Structure formats: structure tokens, C-alpha cells
């Protein structure tokens, strides 16, 4: 699958790989997110259920996901991508089955913890890198990103509908079925890679881990995704109950609120994404979205006392959430050093899952102690803290990450990276000899891809 062709179009095999792996991601994330809008309202019927334990069940998957997703990615380098992915999907299905057969909240919590242990994200992304050429990898990863966003939207609508029809047990059985369907997709649709390749754009490199943990701008973004998912999980301990108690909307009817809010929120965020990228004002857009999220939590606290006021709050909340969920990974990609993108994204994903775990636990505890108003106040304070960190960030560099294969002659050119750094538009360049590859970050408004490849193919004094 890997070759040096510079075809502008993805091959049939690449499209098949990206599409099928996007489906695997989508089914898995559907199973993870579908409980979010229903557990707070239906979960109280379980034995031993309390608001604090409901919150723990909502966020529990993040604990094991955070601990295991980087190690699973590294294991896929040693054992192979497919064995790790199959094992992860089986573990996920087992967790769903455990939750489906549980009659107490403790069984559901155990099932959610086991679901999170099927941490295959890094292994799937590594397999995608094995199956796509470098010039098409960004498009393939964008397909994965879109599938995750779409699965979240579908889960918010499908979760209430499935639970209304089949109960919580049926919901969890359906998530187990989705994991097994993912295994069939891997077996029948995903092409076989000739060999596992090392790609620092999608895999964690041990030598890059400590620099990523000390990088101030990356840490601000890690704090951002931690806060965003903590706010999401904590808010959804309280929001479904607010729709019932303050909005008077039966729990079986919540799906239309989520559907409408997500659709409006998705289209509402697009102009801001376009503005931020075109005008190179992503910091301004990011700060505005955090302010909107802060406003939403205060709004729910003070004015969320009727159905239509809550619906308006949902629309604003999902506009801010969708905007931040789409912006933060792009900012990590821009800020991460060359040859450190995969590691930076690994730390970022770990922060996301930790935020989900803490948000669910904290949201449940706040609800049990202080009711829905306590949850919204706690979320508002969290958003304010995040805003304080985000204000200090610098405007990100507007660069694109590339990985270029190097010939033996280029590898022998000790000064290649230094000369490339002198070229206008090249922000960073690192040669990784063991991969026979050059990792480079460029501003495409100043340097196009063809010019860069010509420079790399002509090492030596002529390159500059």
C-alpha cells in the first residue's frame, strides 16, 4: 500500500481502508456515547443507584481508556495492529455485555470500566497510517474525525430511542453488537498492510513523550480538552434531569431536543471555523467558544427553568462544544513539534479521557450534594478556570505537518534539516534516520508541497 507515488487522488485501497476504519471508530464511539443522554434518567431505576454513582458510571470508561490507550498503541507496534484491535473490540463487547446483564449500578460501572479497557484508538490510527500514503493521510484522518463527530451526534439521538424501546439492558446489548460488527468490518473490509510502519504522526515515540509533557502550549491545549470533556460529562449528569424536572419533558421525548440542538450547533460553528482558519484568528475563536460555554453553564444555572429556555441553552452549548471539539485537535497538530505530532496527540487523548472520568465523577457528587444547580455552578467555575489558562496561549502557527520519505542520498546529507529551516515557509524539520523519513512543518501560503519535495530530492548545496 505504501509507495512513493504522488497521485493527487486516494487509491481504491486507501478509500476502502479509511472508510472501513472510520466505520469501526464510529460503531465503537456510538457504544460509548449512547448512554450519555439516558443514564441519568433511566439509571436511577438500578439497585443501589445514587446520583454520585450514576456520575461514576457515566465517566468510568475514561479511567481505563486514559491508562491504556498509549500502551495499546505501543503494543500494536510489537504484536501487530490486528491482534490488538481484535482484542480491544472483544474487551469492549465483554464490558457492554456485563453492563447489559447487570441489575445494579455497580455492574454497570464495572461494565463501563471494562469497555474503556478496549482502548484501540491508537492502534487503529497506526493501522490507517500503514494503509495510506503520506500525501493522503491527513484526508484519511479527517474521515476518522468526521466519523467520531457524526457518531456523537447519532448517539445523542439513538440512545434515547433505543432505551425507550428496549431499556438500558437493550441499549448495552446493542453496543456489544456494534463492537462485534466492528470486528467483522476489520476481517472483511479493511485491506491487509504488508507490514507495520513507524509513523511519528500517528504513533507515540518514547523520546518525544517528556518534551510533549513540558511543552507549555501543548499543555494548555491538553488542559482544554480535559476541561471540555469534564464539562460535557458533568453537564449530562444534570441536563437530562433538568429537562424532566424543570422542563416537564418526559425522558422518552428527549431525543428531539438533542437532534435539533446538535444540527443547529453543527451548522452554527462552521462560520467561526472558517473565519479562524482564513483570517488566522484561531485563538480569538477559541476564547470566544470558551466564553460561550461559560455563559451556557451560567444560563442553565439562572434561567434554565422552562423547556424552551433549556432548548435554547442546549443549542448554544452544542455550538460551543462542536466548535471546540473540532478546533482543539487542529491546534495540537499546528503546535506539536515536527516528529512529535503522534506523541502530542497521544497525551491529548489521554487528557480527554481523564477529563471525561473526572467530569462524570465530580458531576455525580455535585448533584448528590447540591442538586442540578450545584452541577451548573461547578461547571461554570471549571469553564472560568479553563478560560484563565487559555487567555495566556499564543496565536498558533498556521502550518501543515508532512512526512516525506528520504532516499539513501538524502539520509547521508547531514545538513539537510538545517538547510530546509532556512527556506521561507519551513517552520520545523527533523530527519528520523530509523524511519528514513523527514518530518517537516510548513506554511503552505509561503511554500507549496511540490517545491518542498524538489528540495528534498536534491540534497546538498543545491537544495537551498
Beta partners for residue 440, in sequence order:
402, 429
Which helix or strand (DSSP H or E) is residue 142 part of?
Answer: helix 134-188
Beta partners for residue 276, in sequence order:
none
* Portions of the chain given CATH number 3.30.70.100: 400-463
Starting at the edge strand found earlier in the chain, the sheet holding 437-442 runs 400-405, 437-442, 426-432
400-463: CATH architecture? 2-Layer Sandwich (3.30)
**Do the Cβ atoms of 427 and 336 come closer than 8 Å?**
no
Beta partners for residue 402, in sequence order:
440
Question: Which three cell numbers mark 296?
Answer: 451556557
Query: Which of the listed CATH numbers 3.40.718.10, 1.20.1250.20, 3.40.50.300, 1.10.3720.10 matches domain 13-192+203-391?
Result: 1.20.1250.20
As a whole number of angstroms, the distance between CA 358 and CA 347 comes to 16
Whether residue 164 has pLDDT greater than 50: yes
Looking at 177-186, 343-352, 405-414, which range is the least confident one? 405-414
> In this predicted model, what pLDDT tens digit does every residue of 256-276 receive, in sequence order?
999 999 999 989 998 999 999
* Portions of the chain given CATH number 1.20.1250.20: 13-192+203-391
Q: Is 281 helix (H, G, I), strand (E, B) or coil?
A: coil
**Do the Cβ atoms of 230 and 382 come closer than 8 Å?**
yes
As a whole number of angstroms, the distance between CA 405 and CA 437 comes to 4
Report residue 4's pLDDT band, with 50, 70 and 90 as the boundaries. Answer: very low
> In this predicted model, what pLDDT tens digit does every residue of 285-338 receive, in sequence order?
999 999 999 999 999 999 999 999 999 999 999 999 999 998 999 899 899 988
Is pTM beyond 0.85 here?
A: yes
> In this predicted model, what pLDDT tens digit does every residue of 53-87 receive, in sequence order?
999 999 999 999 999 988 888 888 888 889 999 99
**Do the Cβ atoms of 36 and 156 come closer than 8 Å?**
yes
pLDDT of amino acid 328: 93
**Which residue shows C-alpha cell 443547529?**
264
pLDDT of amino acid 8: 63
pLDDT of amino acid 444: 78
State the greatest distance between any 2 C-alpha atoms of the chain, in Å, as a whole number.
Answer: 74
| Pairing, β 426-432 against β 437-442 | antiparallel
Amino acid at each position: 500500500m505504501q509507495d512513493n507515488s504522488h497521485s493527487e487522488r486516494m487509491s481504491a485501497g486507501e478509500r476502502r481502508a479509511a472508510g472501513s476504519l472510520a466505520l469501526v471508530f464510529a460503531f465503537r464511539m456510538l457504544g460509548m456515547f449512547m448512554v450519555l443522554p439516558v443514564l441519568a434518567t433511566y439509571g436511577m431505576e438500578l439497585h443501589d443507584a445514587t446520583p454520585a454513582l450514576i456520575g461514576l458510571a457515566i465517566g468510568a470508561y475514561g479511567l481505563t481508556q486514559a491508562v491504556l490507550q498509549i500502551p495499546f498503541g505501543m503494543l500494536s507496534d510489537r504484536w501487530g495492529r490486528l491482534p490488538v484491535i481484535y482484542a480491544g473490540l472483544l474487551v469492549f463487547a465483554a464490558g457492554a455485555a456485563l453492563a447489559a446483564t447487570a441489575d445494579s449500578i455497580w455492574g454497570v460501572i464495572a461494565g463501563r470500566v471494562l469497555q474503556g479497557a478496549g482502548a484501540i484508538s491508537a492502534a487503529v490510527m497506526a493501522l490507517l497510517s500503514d494503509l495510506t500514503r503520506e500525501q493522503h493521510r491527513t484526508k484519511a484522518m479527517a474521515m476518522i474525525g468526521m466519523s467520531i463527530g457524526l457518531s456523537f451526534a447519532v448517539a445523542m439521538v439513538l440512545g434515547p430511542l433505543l432505551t425507550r424501546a428496549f431499556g438500558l439492558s437493550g441499549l448495552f446489548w446493542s453496543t456489544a453488537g456494534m463492537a462485534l460488527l466492528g470486528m467483522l468490518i476489520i476481517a472483511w473490509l479493511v485491506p491487509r498492510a504488508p507490514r507495520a510502519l513507524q509513523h511519528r504522526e500517528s504513533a507515540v515515540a518514547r523520546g518525544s513523550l517528556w518534551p510533549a509533557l513540558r511543552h507549555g502550549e501543548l499543555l494548555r491545549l491538553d488542559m482544554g480538552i480535559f476541561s471540555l470533556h469534564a464539562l460535557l460529562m458533568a453537564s449530562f449528569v444534570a441536563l437530562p434531569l433538568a429537562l424532566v424536572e424543570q422542563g416537564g419533558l418526559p425522558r422518552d421525548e428527549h431525543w428531539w431536543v438533542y437532534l435539533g440542538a446538535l444540527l443547529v450547533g453543527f451548522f452554527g460553528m462552521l462560520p467561526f471555523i472558517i473565519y479562524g482558519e482564513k483570517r488566522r484568528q484561531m485563538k480569538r475563536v477559541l476564547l470566544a467558544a470558551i466564553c460561550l460555554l461559560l455563559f451556557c453553564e451560567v444560563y442553565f444555572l439562572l434561567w434554565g427553568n422552562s423547556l424552551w429556555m433549556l432548548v435554547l441553552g442546549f443549542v448554544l452549548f452544542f455550538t460551543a462544544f462542536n466548535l471546540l471539539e473540532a478546533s482543539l485537535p487542529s491546534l495540537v497538530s499546528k503546535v506539536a513539534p515536527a516528529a512529535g505530532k503522534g506523541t502530542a496527540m497521544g497525551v491529548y487523548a489521554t487528557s480527554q479521557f481523564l477529563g471525561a472520568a473526572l467530569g462524570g465523577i465530580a458531576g455525580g457528587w455535585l448533584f448528590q450534594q447540591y442538586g442540578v444547580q450545584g452541577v451548573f455552578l461547578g461547571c461554570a467555575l471549571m469553564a472560568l478556570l479553563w478560560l484563565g489558562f487559555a487567555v495566556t496561549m499564543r496565536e498558533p502557527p498556521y502550518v501543515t505537518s508532512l512526512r516525506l520519505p528520504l532516499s539513501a542520498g538524502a539520509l547521508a546529507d547531514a545538513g539537510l534539516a538545517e538547510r530546509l529551516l532556512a527556506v521561507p515557509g519551513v517552520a520545523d524539520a527533523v530527519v528520523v534516520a530509523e524511519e528514513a523519513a523527514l518530518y517537516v512543518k510548513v506554511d503552505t501560503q509561503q511554500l507549496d508541497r511540490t517545491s518542498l519535495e524538489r528540495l528534498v530530492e536534491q540534497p546538498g548545496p543545491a537544495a537551498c
